[in-house]
Structures are given as structure tokens and as C-alpha cells.
Structure 1
Amino acid sequence: MSANSIYRVDKFVVPQSAREEFLQRVQQTHAVLRRQPGFIRDALLEQVAGPGRFNIVTIAEWESQGAIDAARAEVAKVHTESGFNPQETLARLGIEADIANYQALGA
């Protein structure tokens, strides 16, 4: 973990009926992210216990905000070329998303 890293944290409420399709799309998107300049690492997490609402969380660590912005543009391009609309898919599958960028707090 670098003090300058930026973390993209996406939290989702995914109905069981949408899980398989959603995870397939997430894995496809993360395959694109992993090839982008400035990508450090990622994790795909599924809730196994606890009262939280969000049952799927993805985290991607980036070298900078600029790297995130460039990756976002590349992912949008890939989605457009493949005819995939993430917002329509989330709405169709009844998935709620909470998406934000974070930095580590200094100790």
C-alpha cells in the first residue's frame, strides 16, 4: 500500500438472481482494468457474515487519480464497443451501487 495510492471502492447490493450475470460482467471489466497503466492490484469480495447491506465489493488500487481517469475512459470505450451499458444492466438486475475513490489515512 502506497501513501499516494487511490482506491476505487465499488459496493453493491446484488440480488441472488442477478449474482451470476453481475459477477461475469465485473470479471470482464476487471480484466480490462488489470491491463491499464497505473493499475496496482484489485480484489473482488463477497460478504459472508455481518449485517451490512452491500454483499459484493470491488476494490482497485491505482497509482494516481490520473490513472483511474484513463482507465475509466478505456473501460467506457470497451463497453461501448461491446454494446454493454452498465447503468441499464444495474437497473435491469435491480442492483444498487455505491461508488467512490478513497485514499489511505496517514498513521
Structure 2
Amino acid sequence: MKVNSAHNVQFIDKFNVPQNGKQEFLERVKINRNLIKTLPGFIEDTAYERADQQGNLVYITIAVWESEEAIKNAKEIVQAEYKKQGFNMAEMFMRLNITMDRGVYKKLD
């Protein structure tokens, strides 16, 4: 469902994940994707993956939200859920040597 698509925003993450962290990373991504689908303002998400020349995972997620305000609220809810679960994303990324490039984009016509 695309609500007022001219104003929707895309929250795009690109992760570089070494082979040894792939399974743990994908398990966490599944948890996160299932969570955000329940949040107000969420429209849809897609994920893409490929292996680089060294066999490491390159993983891209695109979550479409109704507005930047919806993304802001979702981030707060996700952070509260992480705290409740005792999950520290920065620690996991450091431990597994995962890098991330994140941004909020508007779709061009």
C-alpha cells in the first residue's frame, strides 16, 4: 500500500558483513524487519543481498515510510525495544566488523 507516495520517504541501509557474521546478522535483520512492519507509518520494505569478491555479504534494506516523522518515531520505538531485549547494535557491529551506510531518501519521479 503506497499512501500519498509523493511524500513517502525511503530509509536505506547498506551493510557490509564479513562471512563469519552473516548468520547472526541475518537473524537480527529478521527480528528488526518483523518489528518495523508493525509500526505506525510503515508502508513496505525490501531487502537485497549479494556477495563481494571476498565472499562477504553486502546487504541493502529499503524501508518506505509515510514521512520523516514516522521514521523518527520508529527509531525511538526500535531503540526502546533494543533496550528491553538487552541488544546493543553498536557492540554487535564492532564485534562482527560490520559497517553500515544509512540515509533517508526521497524518491524521484
Please, what TM-score do these two structures have when normalized by structure 2? 0.88
Cα pair distance change 1:48/1:88, threshold 3 Å: closer
Aligned residues between the structures: 104
Residues 16/49 of structure 1: CA separation in 2 closer, same or farther (3 Å cut): closer
| Paired-residue identity, % | 38
What corresponds to 1:44 in structure 2? Answer: 47
Runs (5+) with no aligned partner, structure 1: none
Contact 1:13 1:56 in 2 (8 A): yes
CA distance in structure 1 between the aligned counterparts of 2:52 and 2:85, rounded to whole angstroms:
36
Kept in 2: contact 1:38–1:62 (CA 8 A): yes
Alpha-carbon distance, 1:48 to partner: 5.6
Counterpart residue number, 2:9: 6
The partner residue of 1:72 within 72, 75, 98 is: 75
Alpha-carbon distance, 1:16 to partner: 1.1
Contact 2:49 2:60 in 1 (8 A): yes
Match of 1:84 in 2: 87
Q: Which has the higher strand share?
A: 2
Please give the secondary structure, in 1, of the residue aligned with 2:104: strand
What amino acid does structure 2 have at the position aligned with 1:3?
A: A
RMSD: 1.9
* 1:41 alignment partner AA: E
Unaligned runs of 5+ in 2: none
Which of 24, 28, 34 matches 1:25?
A: 28
